[in-house]
Structure 1
Amino acid sequence: MNSRRLARLMDIICDIKAHPRRNPDEMCERLQISRRQFYKDRDELLAMGFGFHYSRGRGGFVLDKELTFNVNGLSLAELFALILAVRELTRLSDYSLAMGALSGLRTLVGQLPSAVRPWFTEAVDGVVVADGFGCDPQALSDLEEAITGEWPVVLVVDQGQSEDRLNVEPKQIYLREGSLFLEASGDKLGESGLVALSRVHRVIATPIFKNRGR
């Protein structure tokens, strides 16, 4: 799920709570989507625990249910807001701050009911990591682990029409204007070079582990 759709789903929730007297046509016009898309979004929200329907008798939308989580009463709308807020942190140049927020968000998602946990895990990976950082979620996770463990890896890097493989020793990750870069040494990088994580498709662990403290 991309950040645009996630924002729209949260917008629907907030709008129904704040302006329940709107009808489906008015809602679609405000969101600039078709009625078919609106009902697809409604079904998506229902699957996540937020149910509503339009009542002609009441002249507006009626909230049927809203899933709350056993995380200090966190609601669906609040969790959506947190995901989007963490997404905005990727625009800053403080990698530790952004990763700290991402880690906290993953902890919250890990406490969700099993029925919706995979959906929100995918949303966090897609909205924060893929859309926000512009890199593969698994590649980022693997590089974080390699940096902590201080072992070399093989990077499968996009070269336009082909792929290249670099044997490197990752050192640290930088966040610059919303894009992540890996500082590493090794093939074609010398003692120190930068690789844009947006070009890294896969990270392969090597059988050689190295402890830099020795």
Structure 2
Amino acid sequence: MEDDAEIKNKMLLTGLISIIGIVVVVGGIMYVAQNKLPEKYKDQEKQLLRHIIEPAEPTAAPLTGVFGMAVKGAKQSYRKGDIVTMTVTADSKGDKITGYDAVLRYDPSVLKVHNVLSLVEGMDIYQTDIPAEATGYNDLVVTGIQSISQPEPYVFAQSPLVEVSFSVLKAGNASVELVFSPNHTTDSNLMNTQTQDILSSVQGVTLQAN
């Protein structure tokens, strides 16, 4: 009479042979099916696998957006203590926008930030005033983000985004520039619904303080 160990070994061997047989049969069926598959379906299968394994690179958005800036009012020159208000505008050329950064560079010895006011309903804004990379200047960074309560993105057509007011500290020429380099999202940018920066150009202003 066979002992328990021999019986277990035979059972394991039988199970292993069965598994190998199943694998061989399934492999043979897949091989035959693959060889009988029409060429057009084989090509489709290869394209699908290539798409999964090698996803397509995202395409860069065309740079079409424009930022502008203009002084509010008809005043030509300013004195110490005056408040100067500038309006930043955007044109997205038909693209849908969910947010922006407007980086205004100014001379803090001549101007001081007085107030920042959003002009776009349903867009939350945040501001930071930090020393610029250029010595002797500050960067006022105004960030606008589509609010969760705003159901649709924005299409801007020379649309006012934000008003920025400065107080004049002393006499002199005071330029306020929008900091921008193409494809650099750390400066001024205009972001579409694919989180692509479409900003292509900006325009600043120069003030005369007497």
Q: TM range, normalised to the smaller chain?
A: under 0.3
Normalised TM-score (structure 2): 0.22
Answer 1 or 2: which has greater helix percent.
Answer: 1
Normalised TM-score (structure 1): 0.21
Rg larger in structure: 2
Which is bigger in relative contact order (C-alpha 8 A, separation at least 6)? Answer: 2
